[in-house]
Amino acid sequence: MSLQIGDQAPEFSLLSDSKEKISLTELRGKKVVLYFYPKDDTPGCTKQACDFRDALPQFTDQNTLIFGISKDTAAKHTKFKEKYKLPFTLLTDENADVCEAYGVINKKSLFGKTFLGIQRSTFLLDENGIILAIWRKVKVPSHIQEVLQESN
């Protein structure tokens, strides 16, 4: 069963780029954007991260926190953040448990090979951890504007 708008977001506790544990329950009281992406420092993922970076003041004005989640290690996240001056937290889900809980692991194919990978997806949660909006198979251009409009 896949997550729907109005569902309670699956709880998690993940290691951040600064090697601290972040759990969803600690974030109550603020809106939260969880964006799942395939891999640090790849063209689409970099564009998406930089778009969130550039829009951060608007999200902050809306009392909304941004978290990027991928299977990359905390060390890779740190390099990615430093390289692009990303001012929000990246979370590592190396075992893909949270990715599975949010239903973002899907079959992908590249050069004729099929594999399981993260489908670019974004979830907007309210102050109580209820899902307000879901974007699956995200196309990076204009995505940030859609998320900003929904979080307003």
Does residue 45 have an active-site annotation? yes
CB 9 within 8 A of CB 129: yes
pLDDT, one tens digit per residue, over 119-139 is 999 999 999 999 999 999 999
Residue from 48, 46, 51, 50 nearest 76 by CA = 46
- Residue 121 one-letter amino acid: S
Local structure of 68: helix, strand or coil: strand
- Residue 29 one-letter amino acid: G
Helix (H) or strand (E) holding 15: strand 13-16
Q: What is the pLDDT of residue 1?
A: 59
- Comparing 140 with 72, the larger pLDDT belongs to 72
What is the Cβ-side half-sphere exposure of residue 106, based on CA atoms within 13 angstroms? Answer: 15
> What value does the mean pLDDT take over residues 140-145?
90
Q: How far apart are CA 72 and CA 52, in angstroms?
A: 18
Residue from 109, 33, 106, 19 nearest 69 by CA = 33
Catalytic residue among 9, 33, 34, 45: 45
Percent of the chain surpassing pLDDT 90: 85
Q: How far apart are CA 42 and CA 102, in angstroms?
A: 22
pLDDT, one tens digit per residue, over 52-66 is 999 999 999 999 999
Q: Residue 84 pLDDT more than 80?
A: yes
Q: What is the pLDDT of residue 112?
A: 83
Q: How far apart are CA 128 and CA 99, in angstroms?
A: 20
